[in-house]
Structure 1
Amino acid sequence: MWLLAFVLPIIRLYLIGIKVLLYQLFNKSFPLPVFPKQNGRVAIVTGGARGMGYETARHLTSLGMHVVIAGNCEEEGVAAVKKIQEEQNEGNVEFQNIDLASLKSVRQFVHKFKDRGLLLHVLVNNAGVMLVPERKTEDGFELQFGLNYLGHFLLTNLLLDTLKKSGTADSCARIVTVSSATHYGGVISLDDLQGRSCYCSHGAYSQSKLALVLFTYHLQQRLTSEGFPVMANAVDPGMVNTDLYQNLCSPAQLVKQPVAWLLFRTPAQGASTSIYAAASPEMEGVGGCYLYNGRRTQSSEASYDEDLQAELWRQSCALVGLPEEGHQAE
């Protein structure tokens, strides 16, 4: 029984990976259209110092946005800011430290951001880790669930009041959350969200990405029912050649290198759907979607389970110390 619980998530993840690669073999990457300038809008991009996050931050800056790169490595973040500034003549970009594996750090980040009195029009929940060995965050959560999901859950909730104030009827604020095709193989065990009964890094990663989709749908339902001008969408970047795959086992690493060169998307291509969700006029007033390769797509059957969405939300609030309704002003 234990062996089955460990092996099945691995098989599911690699089968999903093969399916995605076949799609990418026969379908071109979504080409970003030219968007109108977005001067005066403010964006936060988590994990914006490298990979897809960097490409997202770079593009949003080029549109004239004031972009805050949120990351946990100051040296990397400062270097990313310098590189974007050298390349761009417009827009404004800066780095602010956050460790999404620390609830205290998330709260400190939000407090510092709010102290500046800035509006917030776009939040891109991009940062993540994948297939890490069993480790815990400083708050005692399984790392992939804690960083990929709970850190972003808390960050989004703490910034919701600013997003609500920043959006207008004809120009909504936007929350873009980066999930993954692996969510199709994800299973949410409400009795064991931390994977303590049997830890499998593949299952834990898939679970964290499913949790992000469930969170996005439930959040949009709440925002819509309350009538706030904020739209939340989940995006799937496909398989992208970034450092995210550094924890693959050695045989998989050997196979990955030539396959990535042939079939993986570049970070810029992977970021295109996030940028589309964050900046496209076509997405104005559109929320509660799962976007893949620039198109609205069906997510997993489990992700539409409203009871599961609500219960995950309730448990997540308890885990991060929020009231059950979620939002809490700093």
Structure 2
Amino acid sequence: MNDKWTAEDVPDQQGRVAVVTGANTGIGFEAAKVLAARGASVVLAVRDTDKGKRAANRITAATPGADVTVQHLDLTSLDSVRAAAGELRTRLPRIDLLINNAGVMYTPKGTTRDGFELQLGTNHLGHFALTGLLLDRMLTVEGSRVVTVSSMAHRIQASIDLDDLQWERRPYSRVGAYGQSKLANLEFTYQLQRRMAGKASTIAVAAHPGIASTELIRNSAFVVRTLIKAFNPLISQPADRGALPTLRAATDPGVRGGEYYGPRGFQELKGYPVRVRSSEQSHDPTMQRRLWTASEELTGVTFPI
């Protein structure tokens, strides 16, 4: 496997349709920009459509003639997720790539419009519902992929507390809640792959960016922001480099379902994208099934597999 993979290695994407959540900034924007430059029809699924339109304009300025459109999507609202999925299903007879990228990080305690803990609701449950509602547009599309962006932080939370998913009984930890949501991203990916294996053309893959210089760290503790700023060249990388694991998971012909991609450098902080390992807990099939069942019950979304 190529251990110095870059955006130049993204194959031609002509004729492919990609939906990228949270694509107005950061990792999502950089991934969408490369996919559009390679010829994909890219949908920027974003909460703020004005920012989405400005992002689309930046992409078309860099690649004149690029096919980029904007779709409103607020992952903190299941009504919005259902509305967005309905509009996308009307517009798109097929979807080749669904990149579940949008997220929040280390936010103060809060809830989504449906009463879910904010980080779990946004990072996992919103994407779970969106994927379930769009999957039938992918299952028969050869080479289609669901790519979900996780984080090294999935190791912070050793397990998912299914008896207190919403952090209603425990003292709230913004770091722990973020770690739980990122562990959920991986367990969702692996269980989705188990359910599709041998039954569909679609595969499920995960990725993480290492530490990338994006807006996502704005809710981090002051000391964390200070350290990242002070040691930025040593421990982090620009957003376009942080997007490479996502792009490789989405486009490299050698990728297989159930794999996980991240930077190959020290502690996976930065570097070229390679296949990496996630925590032992993330591979527990019993926990994956239990989380899946809980997610179906909470969102009211079941999958066509």
Normalising by structure 2, we get a TM-score of: 0.92
Aligned to 1:287: 257
Q: SS at the partner of 1:164?
A: coil
1:85/1:93 contact within 8 Å kept = yes
Aligned to 2:297: 318
Does the alignment pair 1:327 with 2:303?
A: yes
After TM superposition, list the pairs within 5 Å mapping 1:244-263 onto structure 2.
244-263=216-235
Q: SS at the partner of 2:212?
A: coil
1:30/1:273 contact within 8 Å kept = no
- 2:205 maps to amino acid: N
1:241/1:264 contact within 8 Å kept = yes
Q: SS at the partner of 2:74?
A: coil
Q: Does the C-alpha gap of structure 1 residues 29 and 196 become closer, same or farther in structure 2, counting only changes over 3 Å?
A: farther
Paired residue for 1:224, among 190, 193, 197?
197
- Distance in structure 2 (CA, Å) of the matches to 1:295 and 1:252: 26
After TM superposition, list the pairs within 5 Å mapping 1:42-81 onto structure 2.
42-81=17-56
Quote how far apart the aligned CAs of 1:46 are. 0.3
- 1:254 maps to amino acid: T
Aligned to 1:39: 14
The unaligned stretches of length 5 or more in structure 1 are 1-27
Aligned to 2:156: 185
Q: Which has the larger radius of gyration?
A: 1
Please list the CA deviations of residues 102-124 of structure 1 after superposition, one character each: whole Å capped at 9, or x if unmatched. 00000000101111243100000
Quote how far apart the aligned CAs of 1:137 are. 0.3
Aligned to 2:62: 87
Q: Does the C-alpha gap of structure 1 residues 87 and 48 become closer, same or farther in structure 2, counting only changes over 3 Å?
A: same
- 1:220 maps to amino acid: Q
Quote how far apart the aligned CAs of 1:242 are. 0.7
Does the alignment pair 1:274 with 2:246?
A: yes
Does the alignment pair 1:132 with 2:107?
A: yes
Please list the CA deviations of residues 264-286 of structure 1 after superposition, one character each: whole Å capped at 9, or x if unmatched. 11100000011111112222xx1
- Distance in structure 2 (CA, Å) of the matches to 1:188 and 1:241: 28
Quote how far apart the aligned CAs of 1:29 are. 7.9
Q: SS at the partner of 1:69?
A: strand
- Distance in structure 1 (CA, Å) of the matches to 2:285 and 2:253: 29
- 1:267 maps to amino acid: A
Quote how far apart the aligned CAs of 1:221 are. 0.5
More helix by share: 1
Aligned to 2:95: 120
* Residues matched between the structures, number: 292
Q: Does the C-alpha gap of structure 1 residues 114 and 292 become closer, same or farther in structure 2, counting only changes over 3 Å?
A: same
Quote how far apart the aligned CAs of 1:298 are. 1.7
Paired residue for 2:176, among 203, 206, 209?
203
Please list the CA deviations of residues 19-66 of structure 1 after superposition, one character each: whole Å capped at 9, or x if unmatched. xxxxxxxxx985334333111110000000000100000000011000
After TM superposition, list the pairs within 5 Å mapping 1:236-247 onto structure 2.
236-247=208-219
- Distance in structure 1 (CA, Å) of the matches to 2:32 and 2:21: 9
- 1:238 maps to amino acid: G
1:30/1:269 contact within 8 Å kept = no
- Distance in structure 2 (CA, Å) of the matches to 1:43 and 1:212: 19
1:39/1:91 contact within 8 Å kept = no
The unaligned stretches of length 5 or more in structure 2 are 264-272
What percent of counterpart residues are identical? Answer: 39
2:99/2:146 contact within 8 Å kept = yes
Does the alignment pair 1:104 with 2:94?
A: no
Quote how far apart the aligned CAs of 1:91 are. 3.3
- Distance in structure 2 (CA, Å) of the matches to 1:292 and 1:250: 26
Q: SS at the partner of 2:94?
A: coil
2:111/2:118 contact within 8 Å kept = yes
- 2:224 maps to amino acid: A
Paired residue for 1:308, among 280, 287, 305?
287
